[in-house]
Amino acid sequence: MPATSRVQLGDWYDYPQYFDMIFRDETATEVDFIRAAMKRYSPGKHRRFYEPGCGSGRLVVAMAADGFQVTGSDLSKPSLRYLRNKLRRRKLQAQLVLGDMTTYVTPQSVDGAFCTFNTFRHLMTQEAAISHLTAVARSLRQGGIYILGFHIIPLDADEYCIERWRAVHGKTRVSMTLRVLDSDREERWEQVRISLKATTPAKTFQCRTEFPMRLYTLEQAVSMLAEVPQLELVGVHDFSYDIDQTRELDDELVDAIFILRKRGD
C-alpha cells in the first residue's frame, strides 16, 4: 500500500515527538556537560535544576532519570503534554509549568539552570532577554549557575545558511532542514524556516514553520549579559560540550555556551 502524504503548515513545536527524535543522540553529551559544569563552576551539592523553554524535555527526562529534582517551563501545550506522558511512562517525576521564560521564577531556588540550544534567541527584544536573565537569576541560589547556549553570528557569516538533520527510530525516519530566508543585521533578526518530514510504513507527514530569531554579535551578547549584574560570566565553552576546552571571547566564537553564576547578595 503506498504511503499517504499530508502537508501541514503550522508550528513544528506542535510535534515534539519528531523534535525529540532529531536531537536525542545529543542528550547524553549535554547532560554530562551540565554535570561537569556544575562541579567546576558551582560549589556545594546539586539537587534542583530548571530548564526554561524545555520543549520536548529531552534534558528534563534525562536529569530526572539521574535522580535530580527538575522543573521545566514552556509555552507549548503539546510539548508539555508529550513530556508529561514520557515522564509517566518512565515512572519519573518533574515539575512542568506552562509559563513564559521571560517572567517565570521557580518557587524554590535551584542549584542550576540550563538552556543549551538557541531557545534564547526566540526572545526578540533586549527587554525580553534581560527580563529572562533576571528571572533565571531570581530562580538560582547564591553560587548557582545558568548554562546558556546560543549561536553568535560571525562577521563573515553566510546570511542564508542551511542546516540539515536526520534520525531513525524503529520504522520512523525523520529529516529536518533549517533554512535562513532573510535577515537584517542592523535590526538584528533573521527569518528561519523549519521543514520537517516524518515517514513511517503507513504515512508521510510534513510540516513547515517560519519564525524570526534574534541575531547577536559577540559584542552584543557580552554587552547584554553585562546588563544583569546578578549574574557574572565565569566560563565560556562551545557546542562540542567539552568541559576541559574553554573558549576565548574572540571572533572565532560562534556556537557559544556561557556559564553565568549568581553573585552573592
Which tens digits make up the pLDDT trace of 106-164?
999 999 999 998 999 999 999 999 999 999 999 999 999 999 999 998 755 566 688 99
- Give me the pLDDT at residue 58, please: 95
Residues 195-241: pLDDT tens digits?
999 998 888 888 888 999 999 999 999 999 999 999 999 999 999 99
166 close to 197: Cβ distance less than 8 angstroms: no
**Residues of the domain holding 257:** 13-153+215-262
CATH of the domain at 254: 3.40.50.150
In this structure, what are the phi and psi dihedrals at residue 14, rounded to the nearest 5 degrees? -80, -5
pLDDT surpasses 50 at 3: no
The three grid cell numbers given for residue 101, joined into one nine-digit string: 521564560
pLDDT surpasses 80 at 7: no
Contacts of 231 (CB under 8 A, 6+ apart): 133, 136, 137, 146, 225, 260, 261, 262, 263
3-state DSSP assignment of residue 3: coil
Tell me how far CA of residue 29 lies from CA of 26, 61, 100, 159, 194, in angstroms.
6, 14, 27, 29, 24
Q: Which among 79, 77, 45, 75 has a CA at the least distance from the CA of 61?
A: 79
The three grid cell numbers given for residue 148, joined into one nine-digit string: 546558556
Last residue within a domain, chosen from 214, 235, 254: 214
Q: 89-95 long-range contacts, Cβ below 8 Å, gap at least 24?
A: 90/61, 90/65, 92/61, 92/64, 92/65, 93/64, 94/57, 94/60, 94/61, 94/64, 94/69, 94/70, 95/69, 95/70, 95/71
- Give me the pLDDT at residue 156, please: 54
The count of domains in the chain is 2
What sign does the dihedral 30-32-36-39 (CA atoms) show?
positive
Query: Are residues 148 and 224 both part of a single domain?
Result: yes
Query: Are residues 88 and 74 both part of a single domain?
Result: yes
Last residue within a domain, chosen from 195, 214, 233: 214
- Give me the pLDDT at residue 203, please: 84
How far is residue 14's CA from residue 29's CA, in Å, rounded to a whole number? Answer: 26
CATH of the domain at 175: 2.20.130
Percent of the chain with pLDDT over 90: 79
